[in-house]
Every structure is written in structure tokens, then in C-alpha cells.
């Protein structure tokens, strides 16, 4: 069994400011890269990486104690397609994540900053969506979940006034989880309090002019794995 120090050496990516990651060198393959911004207790990345074993997963989390919690859920032999990075994510992430390199981004239950005077702290801002557009591949997707109704409207409105993303749900959101949905600790906790989550999906379009360096998407437009609703418990992780 690996010690927590050995897991840190295997899963955690050291980084330097303004030095781009080389995903081929990190994962040893060219499989599509999925990125989770804010991993919480790690239920999503630890479980989804087992189901979609032919995808690489990069988890970004700013809190060191959460990184250690996630490491306890990972095993090098079962999660060879997972890497973690301790990083505060803002517009400067473009200096670390290569352009057009990410196939899908998960932002699950971000801090809603409910007070109006704190709205400027919300991660979903126009400038941040500009950055996500740059790191996503063509037709790449962003999946977002929150239990805060006003934040849902904020997110939907920010995407609706853009032409480089299209909402994949008619109203911009749904309350119905997709097949294969992974229930996180936070979602379960908030459901018990009477706050069910809202789910949003947005796809990057080809509205903006493509350059010679913009990849034309990849083969990953296949249907999502249908494995029924998953929870952290079903993966054997704690």
C-alpha cells in the first residue's frame, strides 16, 4: 500500500508559473484530458476516472487538506489516468494549461458567494469564460452544478450573452441528473437540507475564427457511459 507521501509523488504535479503543462509527458498518452476545477472531497474524479478509463483526468484544488483527502481515494494501479495540482484557478490558468488542450471541464458546486457585494468573487465571470474558451478544444464542454438558484440564473445569463458557447439544455439548466451521475458528499448534504442541484452543460462552438493551431475537436463526441447513478460509495472509495 502506498504511503500518502508516495501518492503525492505519483499523483501531484509540481508546476512553475508561466510554464505550460505537457499532458503527453504527464500521462504517457494522447487521450483526451478532462479537468475538474475544485475537487472537493474527490468523489467525482476518483469515480469517473474508473468508469472512463480511456480519458485523462486533471483535478485542480487550492486547499492542501482537500488534496490529501482526495489522495486517500486514489490508487496508482486503478487511477493511473488521474493527476492533481494544487492551484488557485483564475484567468492566469492560461499560462499553465495549453490552449485547446482540454476536452471537458467540470465545475461542481462552486462557491455561490450569495451576497451581492461578493458577486465579483464568483468563478463564473466573463473574463474567466474567455479563458476557458482558450483552453477548451473545439466542441469541448463545460459541466456545472450548483444548488443555489440565483447562481444558476447568473451562470445561464453569462453564457447566454456569448456566441462561443451554446447551452445543451433548453432552459440552460435541468434538475435531472444524467446517466452515470456521481453524487458527491456536498450534493448529498445539501439535498438533505432541501436544496437539490441544478445541472448545466455548455459546448464550445466554432463561432470564433479558427487558427491554424486550433485542433478540430476529436473523436470524443460519443454518448456518455450509461452506468446508472453512481455515488462515491459505489466505487469502493471513502
| Catalytic option among 30, 111, 130, 206 | 111
Distance between CA atoms of residues 186 and 110, nearest Å: 11
For 8-109, list the strands marked E by DSSP: 33-37, 56-61, 82-86, 102-108
- Helix (H) / strand (E) containing 21: none
111 tagged catalytic: yes
Contacts of 64 (CB under 8 A, 6+ apart): 86
Contacts of 111 (CB under 8 A, 6+ apart): 121, 122, 123
Active-site residues, by number, are 111
Amino acid at each position: 500500500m502506498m504511503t500518502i507521501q508516495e501518492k503525492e509523488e505519483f499523483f501531484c504535479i509540481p508546476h512553475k508559473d508561466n510554464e505550460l503543462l505537457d499532458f503527453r509527458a504527464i500521462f504517457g498518452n494522447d487521450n483526451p484530458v478532462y479537468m475538474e476545477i475544485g475537487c472537493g472531497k474527490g468523489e467525482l474524479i476518483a469515480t469517473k476516472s474508473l468508469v472512463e478509463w480511456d480519458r485523462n483526468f486533471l483535478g485542480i484544488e487550492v486547499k492542501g487538506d482537500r488534496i490529501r483527502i482526495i489522495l486517500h481515494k486514489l490508487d496508482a494501479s486503478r487511477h493511473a489516468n488521474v493527476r492533481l495540482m494544487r492551484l488557485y484557478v483564475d484567468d492566469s490558468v492560461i499560462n499553465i494549461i495549453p490552449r485547446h488542450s482540454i476536452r471537458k471541464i467540470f465545475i461542481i458546486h462552486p462557491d455561490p458567494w450569495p451576497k451581492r457585494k461578493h458577486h465579483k468573487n464568483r468563478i463564473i465571470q466573463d473574463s474567466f469564460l474567455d479563458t476557458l474558451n482558450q483552453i477548451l478544444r473545439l466542441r469541448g464542454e463545460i459541466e456545472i452544478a450548483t444548488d443555489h438558484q440565483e447562481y444558476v440564473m447568473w451562470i445561464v445569463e453569462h453564457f447566454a450573452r456569448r456566441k462561443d458557447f451554446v447551452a445543451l439544455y433548453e432552459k440552460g439548466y435541468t434538475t435531472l441528473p444524467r446517466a452515470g451521475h456521481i453524487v458527491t458528499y456536498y450534493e448529498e448534504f445539501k439535498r438533505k437540507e432541501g436544496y437539490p442541484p441544478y445541472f448545466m452543460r455548455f459546448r464550445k462552438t466554432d463561432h470564433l475564427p479558427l487558427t491554424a493551431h486550433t485542433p478540430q475537436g476529436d473523436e470524443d463526441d460519443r454518448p456518455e457511459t450509461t452506468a446508472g447513478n453512481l455515488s462515491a460509495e459505489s466505487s469502493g472509495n471513502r
